[in-house]
Chain A
Amino acid sequence: MVKKMSTLHPMAALRTKYVAPPIPRILIHRGTAGDAVGVSEYGDRIRDILGEKAHFVVDVCSDGANWAAPSATVAQGTFMRRFERLDLNGVDEVVECFLGDCGDAEKYAGTGEKGITSRMGRNDGSLGDVLSQGAYIALDRVLQFSPEEIISRLADIGLTGRGGAHFPVSQKWQFARAHADQQKILVVNAEEGEPGVFKDRHMLEGDPHRLIEGILIAHHSVGFEAVYIYVNGQAKQARLSLEKALLDAAQAGITGGECWERNFQLTINVRSGAGGYVCGEESVILNSIEGKRPVPRYKPPFATDVGLFGKPTVINNVETLCAVTTLFDNPPPQTKLISLSGDVPRPGLYEVPIDGAMTWSGMIANAGRNPQEIKALLVGGPSGEFIHFQQFDDVLEMSRLGAGGVVVLNSVADIQHITNSLASYNKRESCGECTPCREGSERLVNLLANVHENEKKIYELVEIMTESSLCQLGGMAGRPVLSALEQFKQEFENS
């Protein structure tokens, strides 16, 4: 045990040193999404108008409401009002609201959800700002628990991985922890290479401290020698934001030093991926970090026994570790981040409760579309399935959501075209390491050119690929194809 420098409680000491920024203020929602629709022009204009008060305007990440971009939020105490689809005429209204006249109170967006996204798009990235919004409270609380108590709590709640495979987090941690005499490693999967999914990027851009907190909770529970965060090579803003947060956390003594009762002394490394859907597969990440070709490993041995550099390794997704943090902050129900796109008026990132009540219909309606106008959903991209409109009243289950990518398809969407595109994508992205995927993915594309003549062969081929591919890229490549054939066969009539 290291003797602490301060006599204050760790959280109080942190908050004294890193103070909250002044409020009210105007949040300009930049990040990858905001910048893609030129929001900084409006931010500059607002700063020009405010002149001496321009320092009350701060750049933040997207709050997930991509449909609203370019957008700005006026944050006044506990109230927030978001101004959506800004243009140069609209900036005056933002300034007026900030200076005192916010108009109709009904337009307030409220203080947001309390879950995993509660700080997303509402903080400027500084430690003072996130601390004032509850960061590291969960960690402080968790440090009072033993590792066994934490893992048991995760098991009781039934927290599963959010990367798509939904493996119980408690089991994974326990398997690694069982190797008491060996050094262990945590790998954070921030590769997020699945088309249609953009949640981890948003988390890293908008609230990287929630991930760091989750990493430290995992470290307290399992005990790691080192951590590697493997970030998608294209997610440049996400990496910058993460690296800044890691630096701030290190300087504050949060990840090492004398901030807490125990000194974590944890080295956290960031690595960039360099392309390819297969790079999101967990054993591929291990090879990639080790400086090898991006191909999957044979299993067993599993990573929790023999992982990175041969050491027991826990591989958790960004959202998973953020969910761990949130879990010790707030009680269940659990939530899932849904990357929603396609034919809805309000596409974006949603935090959806998996509470036994929310349905596909509810999710579509939340995004502003009448579910009766929708033909199907594509859930899980190239490894996913089509959800037919007749299933829209089904309650959402974590295990059916994959990584949470959902594309809403209206009545004119061409299911055959989408199916062929997904099959072609899987063919292009096959790493070539195993024959069923390398040869099968190409053969599948060819067979889809004439579904009626080849239907039996398609089913046979998909069975072979599912049973014998080395990883889930090949193993699940046939899933959207069979899902389309089983539910929308009439759309293939003319092939």
Chain B
Amino acid sequence: MKEEVFDTTSAVFHDAKNAVSELPKTRENLLPALEIFQQKLHWLPEASIEYVAGHIMLPVSEVYAIATGYSELNLLKPDITQWHVCMGVACDLAGASELATFVGDIKQIDCQFLCALAPVVVDPHEQLYGRVTTDNLREWLKK
């Protein structure tokens, strides 16, 4: 992950701003506002934080302080090609670490709550796959 210059003139950013502007200007809507940006952009560039801060009328520093507390809010642009393998206890027992080491370019991730279908992997679009074998994974990663 790396910091990038974000295009604030893009249509998707404009759409997100419009959606956020519809929310009442109360602090209760801080996380829903961040969620709208994250859903549309997959991360929270500085411009989105500034827009939310302006809308809710909080200091930018405070919005950052809150956003950094939530692990699913991405303050850096994520790698949209990255696959993950679940390392929850059930997946670990079902050979997840072998999947992770056998197929090089895959990151480990905490429990994905699909333990009965272990081992589980997650594609770049957050789709879960259960009972995954090394053969499955090798084939998918080739695509």
Given contacts A288-B31, A290-B28, A341-B115, contact A36 B110 (CB under 8 A): no
Given contacts A274-B31, A274-B70, A290-B27, contact A37 B117 (CB under 8 A): yes
Which of B93, B110, B116 is the one whose CB lies under 8 Å from A198? B116
A273: chain B residues at CB < 8 Å are 70, 72
Rounded to whole angstroms, the CA-CA distance of A272 and B69 in the bound complex is 15
What are 20 A-B pairs at a CB distance below 8 A? A33-B117, A35-B128, A36-B117, A198-B115, A198-B116, A232-B113, A234-B72, A275-B71, A275-B72, A276-B72, A293-B65, A341-B90, A347-B90, A347-B115, A347-B118, A349-B116, A407-B115, A417-B92, A421-B87, A421-B92
Q: Which chain B residue lies CB-closest to A378?
A: B89
Q: Is A110 an interface residue (CB 8 A)?
A: no
Give residues of chain B (91-139) contacting chain A, Cβ–Cβ below 8 Å: 92-93, 110-118, 120, 126-131
Given contacts A235-B113, A413-B93, contact A292 B66 (CB under 8 A): yes
Q: Is A195 an interface residue (CB 8 A)?
A: yes
User: What's the nearest-Cβ distance from chain A to residue B22, in Å?
Assistant: 15
Docked-complex contact A192 and B116, CB < 8 angstroms: no
| Residues 272-312 of chain A, each 1 if its beta carbon lies under 8 Å from chain B, else 0 | 11111001000000001111111100000000000001000
Give residues of chain B (77-93) contacting chain A, Cβ–Cβ below 8 Å: 87-90, 92-93
Rounded to whole angstroms, the CA-CA distance of A289 and B127 in the bound complex is 27
Q: Is A59 an interface residue (CB 8 A)?
A: no
Rounded to whole angstroms, the CA-CA distance of A276 and B66 in the bound complex is 13
Q: Which chain A residue lies CB-closest to B90?
A: A341
Q: Is B73 an interface residue (CB 8 A)?
A: yes
User: What's the nearest-Cβ distance from chain A to residue B87, in Å?
Assistant: 8
Rounded to whole angstroms, the CA-CA distance of A69 and B69 in the bound complex is 36
Given contacts A349-B116, A407-B93, A413-B93, contact A291 B27 (CB under 8 A): yes
Rounded to whole angstroms, the CA-CA distance of A393 and B88 in the bound complex is 27
A236: chain B residues at CB < 8 Å are 126
Q: Is B56 an interface residue (CB 8 A)?
A: yes
Q: Is A66 an interface residue (CB 8 A)?
A: yes
Q: Which chain B residue lies CB-closest to A65?
A: B116
Docked-complex contact A32 and B27, CB < 8 angstroms: no
B65: chain A residues at CB < 8 Å are 293
Docked-complex contact B29 and A291, CB < 8 angstroms: yes
Docked-complex contact A196 and B115, CB < 8 angstroms: yes
Q: Is A168 an interface residue (CB 8 A)?
A: no
Q: Is B20 an interface residue (CB 8 A)?
A: no
Given contacts A66-B116, A196-B89, A291-B30, contact A32 B72 (CB under 8 A): no
- Minimum-distance CB pairs A-B, first 5: A275-B72, A291-B30, A195-B111, A275-B71, A66-B116
Q: Is A75 an interface residue (CB 8 A)?
A: no
Rounded to whole angstroms, the CA-CA distance of A393 and B120 in the bound complex is 32
Which of B32, B110, B129 is the one whose CB lies under 8 Å from A271? B32
Query: Which bucket holds chain A's interface residue count?
Result: 35 or more
User: What's the nearest-Cβ distance from chain A to residue B39, in Å?
Assistant: 10
User: What's the nearest-Cβ distance from chain B to residue A95, in Å?
Assistant: 25
User: What's the nearest-Cβ distance from chain A to residue B31, in Å?
Assistant: 6
B92: chain A residues at CB < 8 Å are 417-418, 421
Q: Is A131 an interface residue (CB 8 A)?
A: no
Known interface pairs A36-B117, A198-B116, A233-B72; 15 further A-B residue pairs with C-beta atoms within 8 A, sorted by A's residue number: A33-B116, A37-B117, A234-B126, A235-B113, A272-B35, A274-B35, A291-B31, A292-B27, A294-B70, A407-B89, A407-B90, A407-B93, A409-B93, A418-B92, A425-B110
Rounded to whole angstroms, the CA-CA distance of A236 and B127 in the bound complex is 10
Rounded to whole angstroms, the CA-CA distance of A295 and B49 in the bound complex is 21
Q: Is B34 an interface residue (CB 8 A)?
A: yes
Q: Which chain A residue lies CB-closest to B88?
A: A195
Q: Which chain B residue lies CB-closest to A349?
A: B116
Docked-complex contact A37 and B66, CB < 8 angstroms: no
Docked-complex contact B56 and A33, CB < 8 angstroms: no
User: What's the nearest-Cβ distance from chain A to residue B124, in Å?
Assistant: 15
Rounded to whole angstroms, the CA-CA distance of A198 and B113 in the bound complex is 5
Docked-complex contact B89 and A67, CB < 8 angstroms: no
A417: chain B residues at CB < 8 Å are 92
User: What's the nearest-Cβ distance from chain A to residue B99, in Å?
Assistant: 15
Docked-complex contact B70 and A32, CB < 8 angstroms: no
Docked-complex contact A37 and B93, CB < 8 angstroms: no
User: What's the nearest-Cβ distance from chain B to residue A9, in Å?
Assistant: 39
Docked-complex contact A36 and B69, CB < 8 angstroms: no
